[in-house]
Amino acid sequence: MEILEPKIVKKPLRSNSLWKAIPGYAIAVLCLIWVFHDFQIKELIGSIATINWWWVAGAVVLDILSYVCQGMRWSLLLHPIGRISTFQATQAIYAGLFVNEILPMRMGEILRVYLVSRRASTRFAAVIPSILVERFFDAIWLALAFGITVFIVPLPKYLVDSEEILGFTALAATLLFIYLVFHKKGVSAAGPGSARYYWRPVRWIPNLLDKMAGGIRDIGRSRFFYSSFGISILLLLGQILSYWFVMLAYGLDLSFWHGAAVFLIVHIGTVIPSAPSNVGTYQFFTVVGLTLFGINKTLATSFSVIVFLILTIPLWIIGLLVFTRLGLSLKKIQTEISSLTSN
């Protein structure tokens, strides 16, 4: 079967992306200045000697398994458009994560969609509904996890208010999803010929939205929908546990629920695209979360560096191995992403 690939348009990506990335880099720099203000590097060096590496090993294994769960979930969600194995989906996820680590603006998300569309011999746009459903699942479980954590662990009012906003957003997303799944597709009263009356630059928007809704509808009616939803909690739980295991390795005497609270603060705080690897914002929200539970800023800063390295270095290694296996290169990825974003 012929593989469908987008037309490659050699358009420089770096100059356009640089301007878009400047706000993210600025935020990262400000966060790093605040985090490392008055910090002594000897504190970090001294703390490394006390790390329990058995807990670290457990954290790394759980983190890897969480991405395997994401690959399994994505494989199930992709069934309406093609058969992609868990291994292939996980490969694409790691390739995307690796690009997110070295390029700004979360361009790895575009890459993983492209890799799967190429593997499944389908259109790029046909894969996007599965990503939207992934985000829907994540929002539901994140809202539930945050709600339970707020109930168990005392948190400041602004975080409680944030949980309420997240819960409302998840509810709105659920209602929209139910509407898209059960709404019967109608035929425009104006007929297909009415498209010529629309302004050409925006004529594609209703067609694109209709395709997205159709893709979501197919996923929602798939027999794999509920199993993929259930797997989503394993993804979130694995990431929370891996974060908490690093806390235990570092000697922080905090309960699982305190660890979950800090992880959720970091997870929500780094949702907005920023510098590659979320450098700056990751450390900032880790320190903010830990200081809420009585951990002094110096110790929290040291931990923010350690947990970042422990959970990121394996991602870099696996991502690099995936790149090598798939015969990818950064230059090729930049060209292909540029062609996709310019169409």
Q: Is 82 exposed, middle or buried (0-12, 13-18, 19+ CB in 10 A)?
A: middle
Residue with tokens 């510098």: 275
C-alpha torsion 193→197→200→206, nearest 10? -70
For residue 232, CA distances in Å to 41, 70, 128 come to 38, 7, 18
pTM for the complete prediction?
A: 0.83
Helix (H, G, I), strand (E, B) or coil at 114: helix
Write the single-letter amino acid at 127.
V
**One digit per residue, pLDDT tens: the chain, 343 residues?**
444 444 444 444 454 555 666 777 888 888 889 888 887 777 777 778 888 999 999 999 999 999 999 999 999 999 988 889 999 999 999 998 988 888 777 778 888 998 898 888 888 888 989 999 999 999 899 989 988 998 898 888 777 777 778 778 878 878 877 777 776 665 444 444 444 545 555 555 666 667 777 888 888 888 899 999 999 999 999 999 999 999 999 989 899 999 999 999 999 888 876 777 888 899 999 999 999 998 988 889 999 999 999 999 999 999 989 988 887 776 766 666 666 555 5
DSSP element (H, E) containing 324: helix 297-326
Per-domain boundaries in the chain: 14-187+196-341
